[in-house]
Amino acid sequence: MFKNSMIALTCIFTISLFIFSSCKKEDDVVPGGTGSVVLEFDNVANGSTLSLGKDYTNANGDVMNFSIFDYYVSNFSLVKEDGSVYIVPKDSCYFLIREKGGSNTEIELKNIPAGNYKEIRFLVGVDSLKSVSPIADRTGVLDPAGEGADMYWAWNSGYIFVKAEGTSPQAPLDAASNTNKFRYHIGLFGGYTSATLNNIKSFALHDEHGEVAEVRTNKKPHYHIIVDVMEMFKNPVTVSVTENHTVMVSPYSKVIADNYADMFKLGHIHN
């Protein structure tokens, strides 16, 4: 009887602990409190860490050696478990991720209302409203004369959303650099005075196992986002470097943009 009583007490304690832990996870949100979310962008090629100056093979069998891989992410919002959406203020919502051949780039979204968030949404590119706003309103990484100078077409009045450059034996010889160079500068937001392609892409990432980001005043969840550059060159269209070694504002830019529509994947959330 004593043994059975001990088993019963153990079960009650275990159940109570589970209930307490579950309730605590929901109840420790301080009303009016805010926290931060960190996003780590892990650039890879064919699933392995991207190293500038290293050869990789794309889906077409072309060898690609990257010297540049940069892109804009912007317009972040987070979705709570109850479906409500928090939109990060626009002025705090533009980031330029540059592959520098070193550690992964991290950005921080601050002053996020405390809560449990099941999904994060963002754009790859710069939205049309910001693209046509006065220069004085485009500072930091959006400054065409400063940090964003190499990601802006002065002649086309628009941002380059994704830039990938390098060399490939399958690319023709570039007379200016005397190398077999490829260039993919993908932009276009739909046009201002006249219509253009709109290559802005939206992403919504969530954990497949239901893990949520627990934002608290004393807890800063960490999203690990995997970005595979080789997705630019496959699915739905396999890209030939020989036939399309330089792509900027041509209609083929839509092909590249549609390809990288699945370039971003959520690795995990660390609370």
Q: What percent of the chain has pLDDT over 70?
A: 88
Outline where DSSP puts E strands in the chain.
Answer: 34-45, 48-49, 55-57, 63-80, 85-87, 94-98, 105-113, 115-124, 152-153, 158-167, 173-174, 179-187, 201-205, 213-215, 222-228, 246-247, 264-270
- Same domain for 266 and 138: yes
**Amino acid (one-letter) located at 26:** E
Confidence label for 7 from pLDDT (cuts 50, 70 and 90): very low
Residue located via tokens 């399958």? 170
- Same domain for 103 and 20: no
- Same domain for 44 and 11: no
Confidence label for 243 from pLDDT (cuts 50, 70 and 90): very high
The answer to whether the beta carbons of residues 269 and 213 sit under 8 Å apart is yes
The answer to whether the beta carbons of residues 214 and 25 sit under 8 Å apart is yes
Q: How far apart are CA 117 and CA 79, in angstroms?
A: 5
> Which residue would you say has higher pLDDT here, 153 or 32?
153
- Same domain for 137 and 259: yes
DSSP 147-168: TTGGGEETTTTEEEEEEEEEE-
DSSP 198-227: B--EEEEE--TT---EEEBTTB--EEEEEE
Tens of pLDDT, residue by residue over 24-66, are 455 566 667 999 999 999 999 999 999 999 999 999 999 999 9
- Same domain for 150 and 260: yes
Tens of pLDDT, residue by residue over 89-133, are 988 899 999 999 877 999 999 999 999 999 999 999 999 999 999
Structural domain containing residue 18? 1-29
- Same domain for 227 and 131: yes
User: What Å distances lie between residue 231 and 47, 74, 163, 260, 264, CA to CA?
Assistant: 10, 20, 13, 5, 9
Tens of pLDDT, residue by residue over 190-227, are 887 777 899 999 999 999 999 999 999 999 999 999 99
Domain count across the chain: 2
- Same domain for 113 and 165: yes
